[in-house]
């Protein structure tokens, strides 16, 4: 890591999850010169539109994830796990932990522990355990140095609302235009007929902003903090 430049990793179950729910904070850190890494555990290819197969849709989603990361000057990594088959296992936990060590990650953003979507629950468990292994000095991972993870927060997602209580608020007013530009590369934001994703997260950022007297804000769950406003991770 260069000087005070932080390495921020966001982990989502599908392409679109991290970009939508964690993207505004990622955009803020990108503007501050921090390194952004977005990891999609699956490409979300089973959410394909009518007339398209998952096999045809996957490359499109992978490319949209890369375009999102590129707007933030960051890196996109999409695992090769088939959508709908995400399962917590030592193998995938260590794969993610190894990546955290290789990139020397400082902060991790991921799914909240409760969700109506099973993949989100699995993604939370996978990431939670990967953080543990990545940062544990006495655990050997191919000789890689432990990741200096100091912050790990769970994002607000309409599918992960059960038990979610905002503890940490970030002012993302100035970062919103960059996020909006980046997130429009996603098929979900431009073409989905099942959910108005862009309108929802746009309105949510305004609502959260009202609570801290800012134009826009994003909220995360974090053990030990209660209604805290932070400038950065």
pLDDT over 70 (residue 31) = yes
Task: Say yes or no: domain 7-230 is CATH 3.40.50.10320.
Answer: yes
> What's the rounded mean pLDDT across residues 187-199?
88
> What's the rounded mean pLDDT across residues 198-212?
97
Q: What percent of the chain has pLDDT over 70?
A: 95
- Distance in Å from the first CA to the final CA of the chain: 16
- What does pTM read for this prediction? 0.93
Using an 8 Å Cβ cutoff, are 216 and 24 in contact? yes
Tens of pLDDT along 128-178? Answer: 999 999 999 999 999 999 999 999 999 999 999 999 999 899 999 999 999
Residue 59 has a pLDDT of 92
> How do the domains of the chain map onto residue ranges?
7-230
Residue 226 has a pLDDT of 42
Using an 8 Å Cβ cutoff, are 120 and 157 in contact? yes
Residue 225 has a pLDDT of 42
Residue 227 has a pLDDT of 47
Q: pLDDT class for 213, splitting at 50, 70, 90? A: very high
Top pLDDT among 149 and 225 is at 149
Per DSSP, helices labelled H in the chain are 17-21, 23-31, 54-71, 90-103, 118-135, 176-183, 187-191, 197-211
> What's the rounded mean pLDDT across residues 103-107?
97
* Cα gap 206→75, rounded to integer Å: 28
Using an 8 Å Cβ cutoff, are 147 and 104 in contact? yes
Q: What are phi and psi of 175, to 5 degrees?
A: -85, -15
> What's the rounded mean pLDDT across residues 188-203?
90
In the block, tokens 């629950």 appear at 121
Q: What percent of the chain has pLDDT over 90?
A: 82
Residue 232 has a pLDDT of 72
Provide the greatest CA pair distance for the chain.
51
* Cα gap 156→214, rounded to integer Å: 18
């Amino acid at each position: 890591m260069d000087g005070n430049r932080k390495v921020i990793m966001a982990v989502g179950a599908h392409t679109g999850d991290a970009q939508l729910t964690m993207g505004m904070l990622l955009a803020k850190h990108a503007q501050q010169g921090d390194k952004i890494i977005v990891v999609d555990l699956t490409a979300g290819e089973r959410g394909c539109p009518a007339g398209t197969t998952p096999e045809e849709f996957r490359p499109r989603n992978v490319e949209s994830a890369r375009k999102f990361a590129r707007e933030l000057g960051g890196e996109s990594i999409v695992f090769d796990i088939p959508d709908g088959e995400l399962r917590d296992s030592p193998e995938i936990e260590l794969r993610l932990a190894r990546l955290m060590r290789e990139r020397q990650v400082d902060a991790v953003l991921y799914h909240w522990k409760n969700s109506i979507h099973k993949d989100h629950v699995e993604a939370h468990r996978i990431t939670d355990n990967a953080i543990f292994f990545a940062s544990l000095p006495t655990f050997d991972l191919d000789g890689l140095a432990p990741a200096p993870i100091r912050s790990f927060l769970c994002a607000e997602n309409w599918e992960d609302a059960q038990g979610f209580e905002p503890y940490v608020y970030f002012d993302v007013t100035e970062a919103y235009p960059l996020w909006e530009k980046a997130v429009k590369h996603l098929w979900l934001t431009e073409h989905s007929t099942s959910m108005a994703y862009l309108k929802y997260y746009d309105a949510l950022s305004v609502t959260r902003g009202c609570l801290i007297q800012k134009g826009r804000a994003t909220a995360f769950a974090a053990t030990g903090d209660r209604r805290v406003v932070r400038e950065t991770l």
